[in-house]
Amino acid sequence: MSSAATQILNQDRIPNTGVLVIPGRLNFEEALQLEKIFAGRQITWLIEEESHHDAQLRSYLEKSGAGAMFSAADAKPESAGEQLGEFLNNNGTLIYVPGRAATRAATPCHIPGSHLKAMGSFGLPILPVCIDRPRESALAIERRASLPQTVIAFGKPIGATRASAAAWQQSFYEAGEEALSSRPLLNGSLGMALLEGLCKHGSKNLIFDGSDDSELPYAKVLPVAIALSKVIKRETDQPRVAIVLPPGKAGLIANIAVIFAGKIPVNLNFTAGPEAVRSCIRQSGVDRFITADPFVRKVSSFPWPPNRDLILVERVIPNIKKDIIKWAAITKIMPASALGFMLGLNKRKGDDEALVIFTSGSAGEPKGVPLTHRNVLANVNQFAARVNLAENASILGCLPLFHSFGCTVTLWFPIIEGINLVTYPSPLETKRLAELIALHQVDLLLSTPTFLRGYMKRIDPPQLSSLKLVVTGAEKLPRNLANAFEEKFGIAPQEGYGLTETSPATNVNLPDPEPEKDAVTIPSSRPGSVGHLLPGLAIRITDPVTDKEQPLSQQGIIWFKGANVFTGYLKNPEKSKDVLDNGWFRTGDVGRVDDDGFLYIEGRISRFSKIGGEMVPHEAIEAAINKVLGLDNEAERRIAIVGVPDEQKGEAILLLSTIAGQALEQECIDLRYKLLDEGLSSLWCPKTIIPVSEIPVLASGKLDIKGCEALVGSDK
């Protein structure tokens, strides 16, 4: 049922009875494919009357002579549905034809939310279809000609009584997940992908290390990494190797070398407490630590092992210069495929463990998250396809390598895709970071709202003029901060979302595409949301209390499924069982999806309090307090909400504050009135203010929930 150019998935899902087929996008060739698939049935093409179509497709539809129209502006779409239902008699098929749309790259749905909503209200059975075009979203290292031109993936059919925009979206995303998961790339090796990237982009791209102003072409990274991998192989028989380094050339080379050695890198959080670090070491079973002598002296609080267990890069690399020269010669003459075979890089691939990242431990002991080769390659593909940077682009890598986003996006992504990497050891030194951005004309800045505030106070706008995209994550992006940043620097920060367990990126807002004549613009950004799902990711929502599945449009617990979703926690089957169900991952975050496919995060379930039977989100309260107290543009967190047990109402809300004075009772009353004036329920108002010297924050910029709860406990 497929050809070299077209792959068809789940054709057996097509109902034998009449159905409304809704593909996310459709060109002329794909329309012909659908007509062939539904051969033998009466086909009627369905068009929204305000839509425009490409000339070839329009001409074909006109010649077919079998068409029907509807208006998305119709106040009573049910009536239109009754008339259109006649086309489904005798197993008839209505096929919706999306109009011309201006979209960003790798946008699988070209249907405006209003059109979807209207069709979901027709009261007709629906068959979603995801049209995937692998050659458009292939990684730079992939051979596009070997990929199918089109993958037509049928979603699960939706009965007439369940039909809605949200039901279509859920089935559509699941079909898209199946389409991406079928790509051969995902059965490959991360090590091989890195090798091919270093070989392909070696002479064009480089890493610039802002800590010492040195630059290293990827072609020179390769032989050093191979030579160091041989040392690592000799040093340990353990499968995993710890890396304790900040962003920079040493951290990059160390990670590649561990993978080239056929082992698994474990980037440890050197900002965590000693007990948390010991837990990570114990769980991962590492016995060798790649680091640098100056860093050992700088991070004295880290529970460093005996010297014999340390591999100090600045001492080892000068001693293997002969090997480096040898591998430099070999890599110049040997193709990547032969080199990969020589290094044995295809021995570990697909569902084998590629690396381990530990969760921040913001709400308890850090959990080890093994990510497979499949997970990482999928997420690099998903992120690269949506961001769609030019070949000569540069990215700033200052997020910690033990942070999942810093690892995937500032280690693997630039090497595989051929992006210049500008690094600096800390995301806090915004003055130096701005100098690097200006000097190297950086295109993409990854940050958190907490770190973004530093740019607001210390940086001149011209220094950031090269930026084409600013993406924030780890915490909610306050609207006032986003507006103030855009007003000062002329670029709007875009909020994204992800979790360690999803490798990590799942969603991102992006600047809207340029409008086109006779085309509807599909928005790529919506304030307050975390953006569209990355391609190939499925989502479902369940009730926080009953765990029953509910429409995506209703607020509930978010679940993800995709090739980028991990398969279980390290040596922790019980916690894995709590969050995984047949490939679906329970995030613990509460959210909903709107008609245009934008995901809204309402908060983490652990950051909700149940008061008087109502679920009260801590982040929403913090946002309201920041607004009424004028704290949105503060460089540091000044307040945090904590829920504590309460005999009368189940829980009570407490406010940690670095600006609290001595008249705490009066301040609490004044704040209460301000929040009530903003329209907040009295249930949401803090019961008590607890003065603190600082709000605990993790190295990633996230609120340290465990640290906040400890402050509440110490105040009792």
The pLDDT tens digits of the residues spanning 418-454 come to 999 999 999 989 999 999 999 999 999 999 888 898 8
SS (H, E, C) 165-204: HHHHHHHHHHHHHHHHHCCHHHHCCHHHHHHHHHHHHCCC
Q: Is the peptide bond before 504 cis (omega within 30 degrees of 0)?
A: yes
Q: What is the mean pLDDT of residues 472-498?
A: 93
Three-state secondary-structure class, residue 317: helix
Q: Is 191 a residue whose pLDDT tops 50?
A: yes
- Could you tell me the residue ranges of all domains in the chain? 6-182, 523-597, 606-715
pLDDT level of residue 715 (50, 70, 90 thresholds): low
Interatomic CA distance for residues 509 and 443, integer angstroms: 16
**Which comes out higher in pLDDT, residue 131 or 662?**
131
Q: How far is CA 604 from CA 189, 204, 557, in A?
A: 34, 43, 9
Question: Could you tell me which of 202, 219, 226 has the C-alpha nearest to residue 327?
Answer: 226
Q: What's the rounded Cα separation, in Å, for the pair 175 and 22?
A: 12
State whether residue 113 is helix, strand or coil.
helix
DSSP for 509-541 reads --PPPPP-TT-EE-----TTS--EEPTTEEEEE
Stated length of the chain: 716
DSSP 365: S
474 pLDDT band (50/70/90 cuts)?
confident
pLDDT value at residue 439: 97
pLDDT at 2: 44
* Residue pointed to by tokens 């949401």: 684
- Dump the DSSP string for 220-252: HHHHHHHHHHHHHHHH--SSEEEE---SSHHHH
Of 229-238, 267-276, 357-366, the poorest mean pLDDT is in 357-366
Q: How far from 138 is each of 156, 172, 184, 382, 390, CA to CA, in Å?
A: 26, 21, 11, 9, 14
In this predicted structure, what is the pLDDT of residue 551?
97
C-alpha 33/C-alpha 324 separation (Å) is 53
What's the topology of domain 606-715?
Answer: GMP Synthetase; Chain A, domain 3 (3.30.300)
Would you state the structure tokens that stand for residue 131, as one six-digit string? 């049209």
496-532 pLDDT per residue, tens: 999 999 999 999 999 999 999 999 999 999 999 999 9
Per the CB < 8 A criterion, the answer to whether 33 and 39 are in contact is: no
Residue 699 has pLDDT above 70, yes or no: no
Amino acid present at 78: E
> Mean of the per-residue pLDDT values for the chain?
92
Examine the pLDDT at 644 and tell me if it is beyond 70.
Answer: yes
Q: Which helix (H) or strand (E) holds 310?
A: strand 310-312
End-to-end CA gap in the chain:
69
CB atoms within 10 A of CB 212: 8
Per-residue pLDDT at 362 exceeds 70: no
Q: Could you report the per-residue pLDDT of 180-189, keeping only the tens digit for each?
A: 999 999 999 9
Angle at 405 between CA 708 and CA 473, to 5 degrees: 55
Higher pLDDT, 340 or 390: 340
CA distance 61 to 308: 73
Task: Tell me which of 571 and 1 has the higher pLDDT.
Answer: 571
Q: Which of 527-541, 544-558, 658-672 has the highest mean pLDDT?
A: 527-541
Neighbours of 120 (CB within 10 A): 24
Q: What is the band of 1 on the pLDDT scale with cuts at 50, 70, 90? A: very low
One-letter identity of residue 202: G
Residue type, 417: E
Please answer whether residues 559 and 587 qualify as being in contact, where contact means their C-beta atoms are separated by less than 8 angstroms: yes
- The H-or-E segment that residue 379 falls in is helix 373-387
523-597 in CATH: which number?
Answer: 2.30.38.10
> pLDDT at position 458, please?
82
Separation between Cα atoms, residue 22 and residue 130, nearest integer Å: 9
